[in-house]
Amino acid sequence: MNPVRITDTSDLWWKTAVVYCLDVETFLDWNGDGIGDLEGLAQRIDYLADLGVTCLWLMPFYPTPERDDGYDISDFYAVDPRLGSLGDLVEVIRTANDRGIRVIADLVVNHTSRQHPWFQAARSSPDSPFRDFYVWRDEPPEEQPDPVFPDQEDSVWTYDEQAGQYYLHRFYKEQPDLNVTNPRVRDEIAKMMGFWLELGLAGFRVDAVPFFLETMGVEGAADGEGEDFADPHAYLRSLRSFLGRRVGDGVLLGEVNLPHEEQLEFFGGDDGDELTMLFDFIAMQKMYLSLARADAGPLAEALLARPETSSDCQWATFVRNHDELTLDKLSDAERQEVFAAFGPEERMQVYGRGLTRRLPPMLDGDPRRVRMVYSLLFSLPGTPVLFYGEEIGMGENLEAEGRLAVRTPMQWTSGENGGFSSAAAEELPGPVVEGPFGPEHVNVADQRRDPGSLLNFVRQLVRRYRECPELGWGRFAVLEQPVPAVLAHSVTWDEACTVAVHNLGPDACTVPLTLEGAGPGDRLVDLLGDGETPLGEGGSVELPLDGYGHRWLRWVRPGDRRLP
């Protein structure tokens, strides 16, 4: 393996970050009105710091009619009054920064709410200066893409009586798409980004990136001044450039669920001048296929198929996010395998492409499998992203509609409403999880006091990940070995190398490996437990693994002064 050496890492903090995503509305209610708020979040910043979080990603906190759980925004320059004020948000950012945590927020520039003043002005008259902020047609085209929510919308064009035309919306009809070919729209987006950056944000998670770039190619979007953006990716480059001017080390974390080759375009190819990070949706989906089959092959293939990126870019790895667990990049047969293993009931599936479940219930609550998967997450090359509640093993509430099944109130204690709120249950933003994954069995307070809890295990993973910068910076390699259920890989950077082995199957096994370049006295030191294993002649070693077992091992050479 050829080590990768990079000398200047000062501005690339996100290469070794630990990202934690939460919805303020469901995290902690401090004033007792039933809705999570920024004051409550501020009270839990120390909890996140203790966990080891270094980047907090806030889902939309802007004013909203709540048609799409906050992603239908009616004012880009304010905080939803139910959640608090701008002052409360600044206090969250300041407190987080004091604890070494950067804060990013959702950047939603694909659409607005239908109640946004821009749209209300646009529909009022064809001569309105805001008319071209959106995409209009006299008649919808015969051919059009499928709606993002096919069970809710049957077209991406809706007729507006007042405007006398159809407007484009790839999501709900309550979310008209912005016309980003219009330079005035682009200027407004830049102003909005600048506003939040001045308040202390370290960047943005960019929502639904391919959709707003596609809008540039829709008939009716061009306004005669959009020729400068005939290449849609020029707009992403302009956003990255603007961010760099305002915040030199800012980050754009993009939601781009496309094949790897197309994702590379959104990084900016070899130049790496568009999105800073992209979620690796392909590896995530293949991981679930591997779990269903107890065969590491699909995941290994996906990881090896990752295209080489610029050193200024990074993959973001995740097990679960705030949307449905999409399986759309699997074949129909593969998707059915995962459905059969982890979501066999119709109520567990959504849109014909995904699951509305969290990991622990999918794995029948087996702590060995759950821990193995999170160990795998943190050992893969890239930046790990956690969704709130994952660190304690929260489940879903299938009584909630669609994607809201996994956006349930955070479970802090075993008490009423899981310690989320003192309000009556009907005042909460959604139902609390019930059954074996409910607060009486799964909560922060109990797990903080239990050394063997999942919370303390995840805390250990975070600590080890932060101590192994090669996992964020290094070169990945799959290590050949004969056990199909096992993924063995190494990540190397400079002189450091971490080896990880994960057994996706229930049977114990012994994994023979050969580490090229090993010399006399080299050894592997366990990072998640005690013990070490000397390397034999030619770098040979045999590593025992329990069923669903996992091990992280640092390759230590004689004279190595780093802590193992």
For residue 361, give every residue at least 6 positions away whose Cβ sits within 8 Å of its Cβ, in sequence order, or none.
395, 396, 437
Q: Which of 9-13, 155-159, 382-386, 477-481 has the lowest mean pLDDT?
A: 9-13
Are 280 and 380 found together in one domain? yes
Catalytic residue status for 161: no
Are 359 and 386 found together in one domain? yes
Residue-wise pLDDT tens digits, 151-189: 889 999 999 999 999 999 999 999 999 999 999 999 999
Q: From the candidates 68, 88, 106, 207, which is the catalytic residue?
A: 207
Residue-wise pLDDT tens digits, 453-496: 999 999 999 999 999 999 999 999 999 999 999 999 999 998 89
Query: Can you state the angle between helices 232-246 and 183-198, rounded to 10 degrees?
Result: 30
pLDDT band at 150 (very low <50, low <70, confident <90, very high): confident
What pLDDT is recorded for position 169?
Answer: 96
What pLDDT is recorded for position 212?
Answer: 80
HEC profile of 75-104: CCCCCCCCCCCHHHHHHHHHHHHHCCCEEE
Query: Can you state the angle between helices 281-293 and 332-342, rounded to 10 degrees?
Result: 60
Q: How many CB atoms lie within 10 A of CB 64?
A: 22
Domain range enclosing 146:
117-168
Q: Which DSSP category does 111 fall into?
A: B
Are 19 and 103 found together in one domain? yes
- Kindly state whether residue 436 falls inside one of the protein's structural domains: yes
- Strands (E) across 44-199 are located at 55-58, 102-107, 136-137, 157-160, 165-168
- Kindly state whether residue 346 falls inside one of the protein's structural domains: no
What pLDDT is recorded for position 226?
Answer: 43
The span from the CA of 255 to the CA of 253, in Å, is 7
Are 504 and 384 found together in one domain? no
Residue-wise pLDDT tens digits, 27-83: 999 999 999 999 999 999 999 999 999 999 999 999 999 999 999 999 999 999 999
Mean pLDDT of 378-407: 96
* Percent of the chain residues past pLDDT 90, beyond the cut: 87
- Residue whose C-alpha is closest to residue 468's, from 378, 529, 539: 378
The span from the CA of 53 to the CA of 101, in Å, is 7
**Res. 384: pLDDT tops 90:** yes
Strands 325-326 and 354-355: what pairing? antiparallel
- Kindly state whether residue 43 falls inside one of the protein's structural domains: yes
Residue 162 belongs to a domain with what CATH number?
A: 3.90.400.10
- Kindly state whether residue 301 falls inside one of the protein's structural domains: no
Q: How many residues in total does the chain contain?
A: 564
What pLDDT is recorded for position 7?
Answer: 39
Are 388 and 430 found together in one domain? yes
What pLDDT is recorded for position 560?
Answer: 79
Burial of 90 (0-12, 13-18, 19+ CB in 10 A): middle
Q: From the candidates 255, 334, 396, 470, which is the catalytic residue?
A: 255
Are 88 and 143 found together in one domain? no
Are 319 and 211 found together in one domain? yes
Catalytic residue status for 255: yes
CA dist 191 → 77, 185, 194 (Å): 10, 10, 5
Which pTM was predicted? Answer: 0.95
- Kindly state whether residue 2 falls inside one of the protein's structural domains: no
Are 24 and 92 found together in one domain? yes
- Kindly state whether residue 410 falls inside one of the protein's structural domains: yes
Are 269 and 401 found together in one domain? yes
Residues 107-129 as b or e (16 or more Cβ within 10 Å = b): bbbbbbbbbbebbeebbeeeeee
- Residue whose C-alpha is closest to residue 529's, from 455, 452, 471, 472: 452
What pLDDT is recorded for position 413?
Answer: 98
